[in-house]
Chain A
Amino acid sequence: DGGITQSPKYLFRKEGQNVTLSCEQNLNHDAMYWYRQDPGQGLRLIYYSQIVNDFQKGDIAEGYSVSREKKESFPLTVTSAQKNPTAFYLCASSGTGGDYGYTFGSGTRLTVV
């Protein structure tokens, strides 16, 4: 089955640590996205990539980094510079060059301990 897989489902981070969230898709989609969801805040865009080896900052990129070395993979690193990282992180993918809906993963819940 084609889909998008996020791991881990739950992640705990100590103060000062960097952590990496995994996102893999086998839909052959060119574009991939990372969103952050806080209670009552809806989704906010962190980073997105429309092609391999290229990515752009979204609205809240500070304290995060990404890479896009393979079409299938778009990992997100939450660095120690992100002061309030506790949130639900959602990865999505889509086609490009037309009207496409997004396919979302099941999310990673990150908690700072």
Chain B
Amino acid sequence: SQQGEEDPQALSIQEGENATMNCSYKTSINNLQWYRQNSGRGLVHLILIRSNEREKHSGRLRVTLDTSKKSSSLLITASRAADTASYFCATSGNTPLVFGKGTRLSVIA
């Protein structure tokens, strides 16, 4: 069962712009995580936000969580061509992580 749903499915921006991806989920969670996947590679953990947190930062990444709306957003500031990848949200409850289908981000130099 896939709980997280990312929006948009694909996003294309110019280098230097900000990229925002959204994730909605259906049931209560312990935490929500964001991962990055370059084409044909494994996933890399980016950031984890707990259910009692509202915002978290890591470098150029900013994640927000609204448990009342069951939604999260990932903001990548000052994007670079190297940020081109697929980004997945994953929710953690009483089972292993449940992943969404991802957002494909293309950053054009």
Chain B: CB-nearest residue to A106: B42
Do the beta carbons of A102 and B97 come within 8 Å of each other? Answer: yes
Residues of B within 8 Å of A58, CB to CB, are 96
A29 CA / B105 CA spacing, docked (Å): 31
**A58-B96, A99-B30, A102-B97 given as contacts; is B88 within 8 A of A43 (CB)?**
yes
A92 CA / B44 CA spacing, docked (Å): 10
Do the beta carbons of A105 and B42 come within 8 Å of each other? Answer: yes
Is B101's CB within 8 Å of the partner chain A? yes
The 8 A-B residue pairs with the shortest CB-CB distance, nearest first, are A101-B45, A104-B42, A42-B101, A43-B99, A104-B43, A106-B42, A99-B31, A42-B99
A-B contacts, 23 of them at CB < 8 A, read A40-B101, A41-B101, A42-B2, A42-B101, A42-B102, A43-B88, A45-B96, A90-B42, A99-B31, A99-B48, A99-B50, A101-B33, A101-B48, A102-B35, A102-B90, A102-B97, A103-B45, A104-B35, A104-B42, A105-B42, A107-B40, A107-B41, A109-B40
Residues of B within 8 A of A (CB): 1-2, 30-31, 33, 35, 40-45, 48, 50, 88, 90, 92, 96-102
